[in-house]
């Protein structure tokens, strides 16, 4: 396969939130929400980003699209660095990169009808001519499993699954190359989750979309992803193709996560790796390997020296002293 240009290339993304304190509100420290993350996504592929709550995966999604300003790093889409853009350029780029948010209840403007929600940005970016506009919106709705008669209804008249379809339709209407899906199904019932995930997969095949799929649900990520990255306290600890990662997990954290995935068969005995302790504060991450406070395989070296994040073959990256 010829080397294709990546849809998205993230280089050393950093996002720190200042901690302010005292009467004068001076900065006393930083929450290192994202602390140097690099990865890339090929056209038509899905990159699954997993990690527990507070590890910075949602921050990555929002920062990539500059919905929150990044601290440093690069985010290259279509050969251009999103972080270096002026506001006007950025807005012109918006249709190329869309986002689906976690909560379909709060992320739709309650005062806009569905067709307005889907069509507003279509008009704003002149995706189709005025004459085709209405048909185009209806077509996108149909592609996402919504009926034309629902076009003039308001979000509150829909169920959670339908609302997420509206969100997907909204993103899709702009013909994006990349969709950042931030926990798109975790607010939905399990039965609905499958429908929405399948819809996303079908749309990906039809339109050669790329997804950055952020989730804490490993079974969902395994189902939809081509590449998977595992995050811990703001950094990637392991990354690889789905097959590699799920079959030959290297990092103890990944192993612990994988052992926690429920298996729908009560006869299979699960060998769960139980992690001790809580997630340390990202404002004051542990020295050495960030994971050493909870790692079952912790060595002396881990407490002082940060492991190098490197390629162990087949594009399987990992940061752990066990393999050095």
Partner 1 sequence: MKQYIIRRVLISLIVLFGVSIMLYALVRSMPSDYVTLSTSTNPNVTEEMRNHLRELYGLDKGIFQGYLDWLVSALKGDLGDSMVMKRPVSQVIAQYAPVTFSVSAIALALQLIIAIPLGILAARKQYTKTDYIITTLVFLGLSLPSFFFAAVLKRAFGPYGLDWFPISGMLNARVNYPDGMTWAKLVDYFQHLVLPISVFVITGLGSMLRYTRTNMLEVLNADYIRTARAKGVPEHRVVYSHAFRNTLIPIVTLLGSSLPGLFSGAAITENLFGIEGLGNIGLRASQMADVPYLMGFNMLLATMTILGFLLSDILYAVVDPRVRLS
Q: Near partner 1 by CB under 8 A, which window of 7-15, 101-109, 260-268, 274-282?
A: 101-109
Does position 89 interact with partner 1 (CB under 8 A)? The reply is: no
For partner 1, the binding residues in 37-66 under the rule CB under 8 A are 62, 65
Does position 317 interact with partner 1 (CB under 8 A)? The reply is: no
Does position 95 interact with partner 1 (CB under 8 A)? The reply is: yes
Which of 22, 156, 266, 271 binds partner 1 (CB under 8 A)? It is: 156
Q: In the bound complex, what is the minimum distance in angstroms from residue 270's beta carbon to partner 1?
A: 36
Burial zone of 29 (CB within 10 Å; 0-12 exposed, 13-18 middle, 19+ buried): middle
Which is closer to partner 1, CB of 111 or CB of 130?
Answer: 111
Strand order in the sheet with 8-21: 26-41, 8-21, 72-77, 80-81
Does position 107 interact with partner 1 (CB under 8 A)? The reply is: yes
Instruction: Tell me the CB-side half-sphere exposure of residue 132, using CA atoms within 13 A.
Output: 9
Contacts of 192 (CB under 8 A, 6+ apart): 159, 160, 161, 164, 185
Q: In the bound complex, what is the minimum distance in angstroms from residue 176's beta carbon to partner 1?
A: 10
Which of 94, 139, 255, 316 binds partner 1 (CB under 8 A)? It is: 94
Does position 236 interact with partner 1 (CB under 8 A)? The reply is: no
Q: Near partner 1 by CB under 8 A, which window of 95-103, 192-200, 239-247, 282-290?
A: 95-103
For partner 1, the binding residues in 173-232 under the rule CB under 8 A are 174
Which is closer to partner 1, CB of 143 or CB of 182?
Answer: 182
Q: In the bound complex, what is the minimum distance in angstroms from residue 110's beta carbon to partner 1?
A: 6
Q: In the bound complex, what is the minimum distance in angstroms from residue 78's beta carbon to partner 1?
A: 15
Q: In the bound complex, what is the minimum distance in angstroms from residue 58's beta carbon to partner 1?
A: 12
Which is closer to partner 1, CB of 70 or CB of 240?
Answer: 70
Rounded CA-CA distance 319/311 in Å is: 9
Q: Near partner 1 by CB under 8 A, which window of 119-127, 183-191, 274-282, 311-319?
A: 119-127
Which is closer to partner 1, CB of 57 or CB of 242?
Answer: 57
Q: Is residue 155 a contact partner of residue 110, using CB atoms and an 8 Å limit?
A: yes
Does position 85 interact with partner 1 (CB under 8 A)? The reply is: no
Does position 120 interact with partner 1 (CB under 8 A)? The reply is: yes
Does position 101 interact with partner 1 (CB under 8 A)? The reply is: yes
Q: In the bound complex, what is the minimum distance in angstroms from residue 113's beta carbon to partner 1?
A: 8
How many Å from the N-terminal Cα to the C-terminal Cα in the chain? 31
Q: Which residues bind partner 1 (CB under 8 A)?
A: 62, 65, 67, 91-95, 98-99, 101, 103, 106-113, 120-121, 124-125, 154, 156, 167, 170, 174
């Amino acid at each position: 396969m010829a080397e294709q240009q990546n849809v998205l290339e993230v280089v050393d993304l950093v996002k720190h939130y200042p901690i302010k304190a005292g009467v004068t509100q001076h900065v006393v420290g930083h929450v290192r929400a994202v602390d140097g993350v690099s990865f890339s996504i090929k056209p038509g592929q899905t990159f699954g980003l997993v990690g527990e709550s507070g590890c910075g995966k949602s921050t990555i999604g929002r920062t990539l699209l500059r919905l929150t300003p990044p601290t440093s790093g690069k985010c290259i889409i279509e050969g251009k660095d999103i972080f270096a853009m002026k506001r006007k350029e950025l807005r012109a780029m918006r249709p190329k990169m869309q986002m689906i948010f976690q909560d379909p209840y709060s992320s739709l403007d309650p005062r806009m009808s569905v067709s307005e929600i889907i069509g507003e940005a279509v008009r704003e970016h002149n995706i189709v001519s005025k004459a085709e506009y209405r048909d185009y919106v209806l077509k996108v709705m149909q592609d996402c499993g919504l009926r034309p008669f629902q076009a003039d209804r308001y979000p509150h008249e829909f169920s959670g699954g339908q609302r997420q379809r509206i969100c997907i339709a909204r993103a899709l209407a702009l013909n994006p190359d990349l969709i950042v899906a931030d926990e798109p199904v975790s607010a939905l019932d399990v039965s609905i989750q499958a429908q929405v995930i399948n819809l996303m997969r079908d749309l990906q095949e039809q339109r050669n979309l790329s997804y950055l799929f952020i989730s804490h649900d490993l079974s969902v990520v395994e189902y939809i992803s081509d590449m998977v990255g595992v995050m811990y306290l703001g950094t990637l600890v392991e990354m690889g193709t789905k097959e590699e990662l799920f079959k030959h997990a290297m990092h103890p954290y990944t192993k612990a996560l994988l052992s926690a995935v429920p298996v729908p068969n009560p006869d299979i005995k699960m060998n769960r790796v139980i992690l001790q302790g809580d997630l340390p504060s990202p404002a004051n991450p542990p020295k050495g390997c960030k994971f050493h406070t909870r790692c079952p395989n912790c060595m002396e070296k881990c407490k002082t020296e940060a492991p190098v994040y490197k390629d162990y073959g087949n594009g399987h990256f990992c940061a752990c002293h066990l393999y050095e």
